Structures are given as structure tokens and as C-alpha cells.
Amino acid sequence: MPVSKKLVLTYVDSLRTDMLERAVAEGRAPTFGALLERGVLVPDCVSSFPSVTPVASAEMVTGVGADRHWISGMNWFHRLERRYVEYGSSLEATRAFGVFRALYDLVYNMNLGHLSPEIETVFESLEDAGERTACTSFLIYRGRQRHEVSLEGLLRRAVDATKLKFHHHTWGPTDLFYGDLYASREVPCRSTSIPGNRDGYAACCAAELLREDLYDFLLLSLPDNDHYSHEHGPEASVESIAGADAAFATFVEAAGGLDEFLAGHAVILLADHAQTDVHRGLPLAELLAAQWSVLQPSEERPELAQLAVSPTGRAAHVYLLPGEGERADPLEVAERLGVIEGVDLVCRLEDAAGEPLRRESPGLPTGGEWALVERGDTTLRFRPDGEVEDLRGGSWEVKGDLMALAAEIEAGRLASETYPDSLARVWSALTAPHAGDFVVSLAPGFEAVDWGGVSHAGGGSHGALHAGDSLGPLLFVGCGPESATEREQWTLRDVAPVIRDHFGLARDG
């Protein structure tokens, strides 16, 4: 059956539902307000864990968690290559690992080397079905069309000044606009890769595509709200939400206004995660280095380190390394993590015999493992396929103290307001091939200091399993469910199936 409307997935980085509603109430986001009046709003869509943009973006456009899409954080340790992968936690962290190494990982390897080849993105699914797809500056863009590098702006000047070559072509949707790196066609839009100044470029590119009728599905990425919230705190984000609204309004004006736009378009408006206030930076690598040898960025002899530490916002991965000399004892590491001020949850795997699972190479656990969550003196063990259901219908075998996840079981169903969709998210994070032996979630107010020595103390951040980091808006206009109550708990994993359904495609299994 022919699709009657095009679909635009509009993503506002770090958008919180309460701040969106405040911006609308104050008259600062009139276009988003008009969408809210016409659509179905899910106010508490659950993000990934860690709730950071690379993991959440992959979940959004594949419909699966990190255990299947393989992207584990802003920073993670590559066991085969024995090095850290850094996706740009901060400029200082990027410098610590090497600007062009980090750039290759962020732009090229994330999509073509790190994202699982066994899982399709919506761009690939729709292109295979004959639909035209397009994307503006979104982290996960893998598609069927080859795009050549088209360096522009500051990035071109940086490359020319250093004599280094960024020459890799990539594969993306039919039309791809990625800051100063990739542009599938000439547009009268000023490109920029500077954080906080990208919404206008995205809207300009999208408007050009709309005028020329060049897409059936468009992912419109509006990332500036994240940068503003990191710097000023989420409570100040009405200003940046107003900017995102203005950018979206510029886009729809190319159709003659919102009414004309919605006559031919369906819209999904969503966030990848939320943000919470941060007051203190937690130097996790430094604290662990007082007891064990911790791998440093660009280390020449990684085989000597006992641990690798990957800060990823308000979460972190800690890896047990199989290096030369004395190895770190996993129970000692777990005990140390559990008493560090600012660490809320320590998550790890045990094998079927109850022994700590040591992940010595990439790959999924073989079966029978338990996930453990430790919070203070409480411990909860769980694994799939038991008598307890979560709010999404998943089944789990559960043992131990439910207070580890502030959870309750009522009529055989487990739920936690503090840590939403906690069992599925922790299991996915722990069983991902690039996960640490430990995944920690930080307490409110704390953020892990990245490898550049940077935190967002005094501003906002995200990454934890906590509801404050994890719940954002998911708005359907002209597509998707007739009511938000069609699911008891919505997550980012539901977005790709709705997109595929809109175009009459079967869902990914």
C-alpha cells in the first residue's frame, strides 16, 4: 500500500519533557506547541544505558539495544585493538587520544566498524524498499549510498594546517549532511561543526531537500540543546529549546507553514536522553589508579595495565585486562567501586557457577550468566527467562534484594520509578560485546571526569540508569499509536519499528 505521508524524525538532543512544556507555556516554542496539540505525547520514553548519545542514537535507528548494535558509550575499550575508543566526550579528551584518531572513530568507525553489521538501520531498511532517505548531522547514519569526503570550514583549515589527510568515504542515506565532512549536494547553507551552532545548518539543509522533494524519510537532528544544557544546566534550557523550535519552524516554512507541512508529513519528535544537574566531577580512573595500574590514553605498552577505565558521562565502564604480571581481582575491584563516593550502582556479570565473569575478548556471554547490581549493602541478581515480568513483557529470573534497583514486584511484574526499564537496560549494557567487566551508574549530582580532565560540574549531564537521565519526550504526529497507553512503557527501541511500520515494512526481529 502506498505511503500517503513522508516521515520526519526530529531529534532534539537532551530534550526534557518538563522543559519542553515550560518553553511552550512561556511562548518560546510555538511550533513544538502546535505539534503537541495535534499529536500523541509519551512524556516518559526510556533511553538506553548508558544514557549517552552514541548508545541512544544507535538504539533509536536500529530498534535494538547495545547487546545487538554494539555501541557501548562515549568512550569504551577495544579489546582486540587494545586501545580506547573516544567519540568526543570533550575537546580535551579528543586531544588526549589524538584529534584524528578520535575523528575517525566518531565519524567513520562508529558506523562502518563498530556498529554491528548484522543489524539494519532504518536508512538501510527504507533504501532497500525503494524509499529515499536523508539525514542531517546525526551520529548513526549508515545507509546504502556512498558519500565522498567534502571538507569545509574550520575542519578543512585544520587538516590543511596539520598536513594530515582525512580521506575515507562513507556509506549513508541518499542525502547526508554531516557538518564539515560530508555533504551529498551543494546547498546554500553555512556548515559548521562547532557545538551549539548546528541547528540552523540542519534546518537549512532540510528545507532545501523539502523544496526539491528529495526524501521520503528524513532524520532532522537538532543537537544544540545538549551543548547548552551541559554548559548552563537543564533548568536553563528554555533558551536552547526556543532555538530548536525556531530551526524546525524554518524547515516547515519551506512547505508554506505548519498546516501545509503536516498535510504531507508525519512527524516524530523525541530526545535521546535527558539531563540532570551536576555538582561534582568524579575522577574514577585516578581513584582506581591508587590501587591498580590503569591504562592511559595512547599507552605504548597496554599489556602492562591491570584495568581500563572508560568514563561515559554519568556512567563508566571498567575493564579487567589480561595483561602481564599480577591481574586485578574482580571481587576486589567490585568492592572498591562500591565504596567510592558518587558511585550509585555497580553492575557486573557472574557465570552460571556464581563466579565473577572476566571478559577477555569481544563477544556475547555463552549462556546461564547472572547480572548483578550492587547498591550499598544490597545486591540483586537476575537473568532472562523467569517468572517475573517487566513492564514491557520481558521475563526474568530474579534473586536478591529488590531495593538494589528501588524496585517492587506486584502481581508478578517488576517496576522501578527510580531506574526505569532497569533489568533490560542493565542486561543489554553488560552483555554488549564491548562492555566493561563493570558498568557503573553514578549518583545524582556526579559525573565521571573524562580522559581530558573535564566534567560538566556546574552544568548538566547524563549517562546514568537513573530516571532523571533517562526519561524524555516521544511525540507522534500523523503516525504511530493512537494513544500513549498502547504500551505501558515506551523506550527508544520502539522508534525504529514505528518508522518501518509507517512505510509498511516488517519489524526487525
Average pLDDT over residues 337-363: 90
359-408 pLDDT tens trace: 877 666 667 899 999 999 999 999 999 999 999 999 999 999 999 999 99
Confidence category of residue 507, pLDDT binned at 50, 70, 90: low
301, burial (CB in 10 Å: exposed 0-12, middle 13-18, buried 19+): exposed
134 three-state secondary structure: strand
Q: Is pLDDT of 211 > 50?
A: yes
Query: In this structure, what C-alpha cell is assigned to residue 95?
Result: 586531544
The pLDDT, as a whole number, for residue 363 is 65
Give the CATH superfamily of 6-66+120-275+466-502.
Answer: Alkaline Phosphatase, subunit A (3.40.720.10)
Give me the residue spans of the domains in the chain: 6-66+120-275+466-502, 278-459
Q: DSSP for 242-275? A: HHHHHHHHHHHHTTTSHHHHHHHEEEEEE-S---
Confidence category of residue 153, pLDDT binned at 50, 70, 90: very low
The number of beta carbons lying within 10 Å of the beta carbon of residue 393 is 10
Q: How far apart are CA 9 and CA 35, in angstroms?
A: 13
221-254 pLDDT tens trace: 999 999 999 999 999 999 999 999 999 999 999 9
Output the average pLDDT for the chain: 93
Query: In this structure, what C-alpha cell is assigned to residue 355?
Result: 563466579
Confidence category of residue 154, pLDDT binned at 50, 70, 90: very low
Report which of 103, 136, 115, 7 is spatially closest to residue 59, judged by C-alpha positions. Answer: 115
